[in-house]
Amino acid sequence: MSTQPPGTLFLVPNTLDFGAPGAQADIVELLPLGALRVAARLQHWVAENAKTTRAFLKRVDAAVPLARPLQEIRVVELPKAPKGRAADAGAAVVKGQETLLGPALDGHDMGLLSEAGLPALADPGALLVGAAHAAGVRIVTLPGASAIALAVAASGLNGQSFAFVGYLPVEEHARAARIRELEAHSRRAGQTIVIIETPYRNQAVLEALVAHLRPDTRLAMSLGLTLAGELTRSGSVAQWRAAPATLPGNVPSVLSFLAR
């Protein structure tokens, strides 16, 4: 390793239209120009998926020309844990941090990219950020959209205190129990609960929330944030029961609720 000071690990925002149907928007409509300029000059990346990272860089190149040809840019994927053994991913990052962070430790700037939104937020990149701190690598977060923050802002629920809890259990009884547990916490703390879900389970999770939350709990749903035709609906569970919604299974959603 070089004796010169480490480079910087830039947390580069991605767009929220990954995998969504329809044509992709011009990237300059979705991300700040300053973030695109930084992304265009970086030659070393760590990401969830090398293929989609290169697709992202092609979009960047259309707005701000890349400093090097795409085929010369190094993209290393974060290690993936075996199914059901998420803790192993953290161990793999720690074990492989010299490979993952090697360019930064040699004095080069690097980028970290998520599949969508901000890296390390609801994203395995958090493990790399922790390793970078431990290695003395400077971290800089570039501005960009977070579906979590956008959904809370649009919900009309409590934006002063909210908890992001990720995914609900898939199994029906466990999911119902978790919903009731989170609702009780929301009532005690006056805190908005924020949930994300894989698009194909949008409808099942919405129906579970409507079925198991109390009628006076407020429930909000944001669909396709930053996409053409994005929609946010917010109201009491009683109102949702009176006017049921059907959600598409191919558009990202964020669900949130606040118990009274």
CATH architecture of 147-258: 2-Layer Sandwich (3.30)
Instruction: Say yes or no to pLDDT of 238 above 70.
Output: yes
Least confident of 94-98, 137-141, 184-188: 94-98
**Average pLDDT in the 112-130 region?**
91
The answer to whether 8-141 and 147-258 have equal CATH topology is no
HSE-up (13 A, CA, CB side) for residue 123: 27
Instruction: Say yes or no to pLDDT of 8 above 80.
Output: yes
Long-range interactions of 19-26: CB distance < 8 A, separation 24+: 19/116, 19/199, 19/250, 19/252, 20/224, 20/227, 20/250, 20/251, 20/252, 21/250, 21/251, 22/227, 22/228, 24/59, 25/226, 25/227, 25/228, 26/63
Question: Can you give the residue ranges of every domain in the chain?
Answer: 8-141, 147-258
The burial of 156, by beta-carbon neighbours within 10 Å (0-12 exposed, 13-18 middle, 19 or more buried), is given as middle
Least confident of 2-11, 17-26, 54-63, 227-236: 17-26
What is the structure's pLDDT at 209? 98
Q: Angle at Cα 144 formed by Cα 140 and Cα 146, nearest 5°?
A: 110
Instruction: Say yes or no to pLDDT of 88 above 90.
Output: no
The structure's pTM equals 0.88
What is the structure's pLDDT at 180? 98
Average model confidence (pLDDT) for the chain?
A: 91
C-alpha 12, offset from chain centre: 12
Q: For 16-55, write each residue's pLDDT tens digit.
A: 987 777 768 889 999 999 999 999 999 999 998 999 999 9
Predicted confidence band at 4 (pLDDT cuts at 50, 70, 90)? confident
The top-level CATH class assigned to 8-141 is alpha beta
